[in-house]
């Protein structure tokens, strides 16, 4: 699950993003193959350009930023190093233990500071709570699945609607 996920940072540090999201993933997959193990590579829905959806595993990719391109290259390197790998494309939310904020945390912090929360209507995603994703990933590993899977929340919604729901959930009103 380790990755450089800050889209803006990846844009300003493309070589570092490439090393972290692609090259390191391929190296780890090669090491797993040598050890007789099988990795789980957590990828992203950012491998798609978002021009339509929902996307199937068989759909072609068209990442529109450095983050998406490096994660897509990571998928290729993992698959090449170990064809029996499990690759999961997802978009998750929840509380982050790292010194960075998830989208939900960012929205909540802005709300609590009294700041405006911009929410895009033209960006639609199907986020899944990290706790739920963890259960799905464990099940996929326990059942020895391999190949490419899309794992998403049950509902597609805009970033604006996601922010609105965070606001309502934490008592900040609907707007």
Q: What angle do CA 99, 49, 132 make, to 5 degrees?
A: 50
Q: Is 17 helix (H, G, I), strand (E, B) or coil?
A: helix
Active site residues: 67
User: d(Cα 149, Cα 88) in Å, to the nearest integer?
Assistant: 5
- Concatenated DSSP letters of 116-143: -----SS-EE--EEHHHHHHHHHHHHHT
Q: What is the largest CA-CA distance in the chain?
A: 54
User: The tokens of 23 are what?
Assistant: 């090259």
Q: How far is CA 56 from the centre of its chain?
A: 16
């Amino acid at each position: 699950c380790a990755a450089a996920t800050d889209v803006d940072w990846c844009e300003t540090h493309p070589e570092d993003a490439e090393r972290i999201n692609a090259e390191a993933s391929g190296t780890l997959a090669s090491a797993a193959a040598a050890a007789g193990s099988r990795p789980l590579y957590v990828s992203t829905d950012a491998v798609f350009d978002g021009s339509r959806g929902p996307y199937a595993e068989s759909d072609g990719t068209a990442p529109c930023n450095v983050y998406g391109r490096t994660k897509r290259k990571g998928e290729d390197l993992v698959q090449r190093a170990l064809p029996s790998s499990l690759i999961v494309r997802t978009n998750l939310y929840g509380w982050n233990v790292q010194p960075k904020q998830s989208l939900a945390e960012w929205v909540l912090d802005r709300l609590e500071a009294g700041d405006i929360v911009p929410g895009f209507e033209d960006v639609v995603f199907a986020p899944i709570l990290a706790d739920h994703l963890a259960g799905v990933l464990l099940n996929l590993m326990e059942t020895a699945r391999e190949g490419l899977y899309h794992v998403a929340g049950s509902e597609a919604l805009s970033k604006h609607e996601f922010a609105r729901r965070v606001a309502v959930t934490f008592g900040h009103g609907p707007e």
